[in-house]
Amino acid sequence: MSPTPATARPVALVTGAARRIGAAIARRLHAAGYDLALHHLHSGTEMQALAAELEGARAGSVHVLQADLRQFDRVPELVAATVGHYGRLDALVNNASNFHPTPLGTVTPAQWDELFAVNARAPFFLAQAAAPHLRASGGAIVNLADVYAGRPLPRHAPYSAAKAALVSLTRALALELAPQVRVNAVAPGAILWPEQEPDPGAQQAILQATALGRAGTPEDIAAAVAWLLSANAAYVTGQVLHVDGGRNR
């Protein structure tokens, strides 16, 4: 396939890209010159607005994909749809996540499977499907981990375990895909508070345990992702970059 003006630019697939940290990553990579395949599940209105914004800046630069990452067959389809549209893939950003309390004594197998499906299984099988294309382009993968992968959050054992699995998979994939493809993770700290059950007391305690004494921004995470995908990080693989204001110290 001869490259078109659209496919001549590097291409990134970003999951969970409609809002919050995912949208910040999309904007940062778009500004860096990437064409984007942007995945979402339920956030159709937000995704339409983001796509219109980015398309307004550069026409033909956004391809929107909708899928439930808990449905295994939909996972490799995202890679196939991206490569089918653009003819290449240079970066995979596994940002999509699900997060909800699962107090011990109430956890069901369905909750366990759901949290692992989105936070660990989908990133692995997306990487597996993307691997041939990333090898061809000398591309990179960035996974969105969490500070709770190393310091589990009370009432969230399956979520914390799933993110710990993602950290381990990041290091394993870095070995499997070297030397052509680099694989790293970003572990955000206090960036955006959960939308459910806000707890001002808990938020203040987190900030007091953070060296910089404040929350970060989605743009802080987006900048870290962009750096790990760039040539400036060409000798970095198998690493977890904590962007947490000094909370993990």
CA 118, CA 115: separation in Å to the nearest integer?
6
Instruction: Give, for 42, the enclosing helix (H) or strand (E).
Output: none
Rounded to whole angstroms, the Cα distance separating 183 from 185 reads 7
Residue 180 carries which DSSP code? T
CA–CA dist 130, 88 (Å, integer): 10
Number of neighbours of residue 232 by Cβ within 10 angstroms: 10
Which residue among 34, 86, 148, 159 is the active-site one? 159
Do the beta carbons of residue 161 and residue 168 sit within 8 Å? Answer: no
Nearest in space to 225 (alpha carbons), one of 136, 112, 95: 95
By the 10 Å C-beta count (0-12 exposed, 13-18 middle, 19+ buried), 47 is classed as: buried
Nearest to 171 by CA among 183, 179, 180, 181: 183
**β-pair partners for 40:** 66
Tokens 């995704």 map to which residue?
A: 47
By residue count, the chain amounts to 249
Assign residue 73 a region (left: φ > 0; alpha: ψ between -120 and 50; beta: otherwise): alpha
Q: CA nearest 62: which of 28, 88, 30? A: 30
Is 159 among the catalytic positions?
A: yes
**Residues involved in catalysis:** 159
